[in-house]
Amino acid sequence: MQRAGQLAADGTPVRERREPPTRTREDRVGPVQFGKEVRAELKKVAWPTRAETLRLSLIVFIAILVLGAFIFFIDLGFGQLTEFLFPAPSSATSSAAAHAASLFI
């Protein structure tokens, strides 16, 4: 059970906490230097080509349509099943019940 430094060699629990590194004000860079570093990092990014972007966007759009249609038909089926199992009272029955209830009021 000495996995991942949880126990010492003699079996006692090890509780070592590392202090977070303290950063001084001198370690920070100014806004202009920060902007330069951001631009330098963005130049290293492997951006997709226009064709790749269009192809992947089309794949996502088709996947959304297919999943949306799937959810629509599942919902439609569950609605039909619910209507079959728990039918709503018909209008004739409800009007007759309303008429009968009005006689007692």
Domain membership flag for residue 54? yes
d(CA 97, CA 90): 11
First to last CA, the chain: 78
Question: Which of 22, 90, 41 is closest to 98 using CA atoms?
Answer: 90
Residue 40 maps to a domain:
no
Place of tokens 């099943």: 81
Which pLDDT value is given to residue 27? 79
Has residue 71 been placed in a domain? yes
Please report the pLDDT score of residue 1 as a whole number: 46
DSSP state of 28: -
The pLDDT, as a whole number, for residue 93 is 54
pLDDT of residue 100: 65
Residue 79: per-residue pLDDT: 95
Q: What is the domain extent for residue 54?
A: 49-87
> Tens of pLDDT along the chain (105 residues)?
445 557 777 877 777 777 877 777 777 889 999 999 999 999 999 999 999 999 999 999 999 999 999 999 999 999 999 999 999 887 655 566 666 667 766
Q: Per the structure block, which two tokens stand in for 68? A: 């949306």
User: What is the number of structural domains in the chain?
Assistant: 1
Question: How much is the pLDDT for 2?
Answer: 46
How far apart, in whole angstroms, are the C-alpha atoms of residue 33 and residue 41? 12
Residue 13 covered by a domain: no
Contacts of 8 (CB under 8 A, 6+ apart): 2, 14
Give residue 48's region: left, alpha or beta (phi > 0; psi -120 to 50).
beta
Q: Does any domain span residue 73?
A: yes
